[in-house]
Chain A
Amino acid sequence: MTVAPEQTAQDPFWFRECFVMPMPIGRKAINLRELVETLRVVDEWVPYYHLFQYRLSLTYPGVEYPNEFAFWAATALQDNQLAEKLSSFDPFDFANMSQVREALIDILDSYLWDLTYIPWARPGFEFDFCEASTAVIRSKIVAHTLPEFCQALQQVGLDSIYFHFFEARWRLGVREVDDFSFWIEYNFNCPEAVKQIRDIDLYFYSLREIRDELLKIIDQYLGDHCDQAG
């Protein structure tokens, strides 16, 4: 099924831009035990940063580990077994950050339980705990049609993609639903595009790749009219 490029949405899509600045809390962990103990006592914004927002701070090319804890286990502790376990940890399985933190600590604690030693970070690779401040600004970039939406996707920063595609799931409390597919679902009769967007495994794509993927999907249903903004 295709969508006519000129079809107008009932509600336009207003893009938000978000500006994230990491805030170190002045604490670090030099081994796995310290990581667990500190995670128990820090504010919930700290695990939130390392699970979600770190993508906006320093993202490595070719996303391999979906959160900073898994990345740290692999590169700093050089413990592949733990990195594998943490890579499969999905914070969207839980209703709030308190449960997320508990589940994360449970993984780390049970891993430590079976070890006869404590894994230590390589020198220089200590875990620096951070939280972040995020300013969300309603931009003047708005889309009324799908071609306008495609054009706007290329105009906004990658943090906008993060806010609407990644952070939205936590905000809306529904793992599968992001702002983009939500808007398309309610404004255009194009369930296949919605499904394809919701099938993107967001953990394994960089924000730039996600943007390209979104453009590709929408383009299919517009009959290659993605670049024809109204």
Chain B
Amino acid sequence: MIRLDDYIPIVGPAVVGQLYRLAEHLGTHRLVNINSTRTGGGVAEILSRVVPLLNQLGIETLWEVIEGDQLFFETTKAMHNALQGQKVYFSPEMLEHYEQINRTNAPKFNWQADLVIVHDPQPAFLINEMRSQAKHWVWRCHIDISRPYRSIWKFLQQTVSEYDASVFSMPRFSQNLEHPQYIIYPSIDPLSEKNRELSPEEIQAVLDRLGIERDKPIILQVSRFDSFKDPLGVIQAFRLVRRHTPCKLLLVGGEATDDPEGPKIFAAVQEAASGEPDIQVLMLPSDSHYEVNAIQRAADIILQKSVREGFGLTVTEAMWKGKPVIGGAVGGIVLQLQDYYNGFLVHTPEGCAFRIRYLLHRPQLGRRLGQVAREFVRDHFLITRTLRDYLTLMILVENPDSRMFEL
């Protein structure tokens, strides 16, 4: 089991010491997290790490999961898409079923808590059944809700308004709500398989296994084969670079998901890459965290040329590995990268090609950007920051009207 003190060599004793002091100040508290799945997806991933660490800090932390049937999860998936802006039709039966499943789940939970954090829309309706079981209720939205489809937001807003506060991943995702809205930036775990340090031998073994040669500088993009990640734009940029400078492109993506567009884009990527020996397209199983870690560490430049993005944790992962990162100037990527300080933001395939060439010819600058990027992530986007934010949130919900107070 990972101990909180295991993070001391990474973030320093001051950061971990502060977590202990903050938790001690809070004293006996019971925190309950509720979401809709124990495995798979970013929320489950972060909760599986955060919950044991909060317990180590002495905060009694429970993690509850609601159960639902196929129609419920189809409805909440559609809700997710609609909150991200897709126009989706919801029949009254679907919405009634969503509420009903929440009502059916409610009696299973019989604790009393100081704070309940409800993650995303799936279990949001529970508050209407269970309000009295906790002093404070917070809705934690992990979704890019900057331009939600109006009708579904109107529906959900009635429930969200019942909460004492909301938490979003970026200021841009905040809504016109009466209660306090807070920001907790997403984070990565530096001790996970995806991010832990690897030896040169471990990295080389993965490259050998996957047939990746390091004969030329490696340009890498890790992302789903999805038009928002613009893999075709990446290939276009690579071809522009190759006219001037030798290098190779690695496009690494997960297995086809439930995204109907996925296979179509993957086929288009394969077609665009055909006949070009220096482009390698790899489709890896979705749990290939260790392999992705090794490939990222072997790369010379990492791209995330998205044309639409939530927060962009793949950028955070690449920055943590000390790599120069070129990202599309969208979503949370603009919060993470700043030109010439810790990476580059680009708007077009041409811009991407230009910055790749720039970095290929200035490897020293690339190393410097990568070092600064790593420190930036260390300060803001590691799991210890999320722990601190959760503990702080527990204090703030008890003082919602005060903007500065001493305890």
Contact = CB atoms under 8 A, between A and B. Distances in A.
A58 B406 CA distance: 23
Interface in A1-41: 16-17, 19, 21-26, 28
Interface string A106-147: 000000000000000011111011111111111110000000
B17 A28 contact: no
B171 A157 contact: no
A148 to B, nearest CB: 16
Interface in B323-350: 329-331, 334-335, 338, 341-342
Interface string A44-63: 01000000000001111110
Contact of B341 (A61, A134, A137, A139): A61
Contacts, number: 112
B331 A124 contact: yes
Interface in B355-407: 372, 375-376, 379-380, 388-389, 391-393, 395-396, 399, 402-407
B372 A24 contact: no
A21 B22 CA distance: 14
Interface stretch (B89-97, B148-156, B177-185, B258-266): B177-185
Interface in B258-316: none
B396 A130 contact: no
A166 B110 CA distance: 46
A62 B394 CA distance: 32
Chain A interface, >50% SS class:
strand
Nearest to A211: B14
B21 A139 contact: yes
Interface string B78-120: 0000000000000000000000000000000000000000000
Given A60-B341, A133-B180, A136-B406, A128 B22 contact: no
Contacts of B175: 26
Contacts of B402: 133
A133 B176 contact: no
Interface string A83-102: 00000000000000000000
B22 A19 contact: yes
Contacts of A25: 174, 181
B170 to A, nearest CB: 8
Interface in A48-82: 57-62, 75
Nearest to B407: A137
Contacts of B341: 60-62
A122 B345 CA distance: 12
Contact of B25 (A28, A129, A137): A137
Contacts of B72: none
A122 B329 contact: yes
A17 B342 contact: no
Given A21-B182, A23-B181, A133-B403, A128 B171 contact: yes
B407 A138 contact: yes
Contacts of B405: 134-136
Given A60-B341, A61-B372, A135-B396, A124 B334 contact: yes
B26 to A, nearest CB: 10
A154 interface: yes
Interface in B166-199: 168, 170-172, 174-177, 180-185
A138 B407 CA distance: 7
Contact of B403 (A16, A62, A134): A134
B18 interface: yes
Nearest to A49: B403
Contacts of A16: 406
A131 B171 CA distance: 10
B256 interface: no
Contact of B180 (A23, A58, A123): A23
A42 interface: no
B13 interface: yes
Given A22-B183, A26-B174, A157 B406 contact: no
28 contacts: A17-B21, A21-B182, A21-B389, A21-B392, A21-B396, A22-B171, A23-B180, A24-B168, A24-B172, A24-B181, A26-B181, A61-B342, A61-B375, A62-B341, A62-B372, A75-B338, A124-B330, A124-B334, A126-B172, A128-B171, A135-B396, A137-B21, A137-B406, A138-B406, A139-B21, A154-B14, A155-B14, A157-B14
Instruction: Report the 8 A-B pairs with minimum CB-CB distance, sorted nearest first.
Output: A128-B171, A24-B174, A24-B171, A19-B392, A136-B406, A22-B183, A134-B404, A61-B372
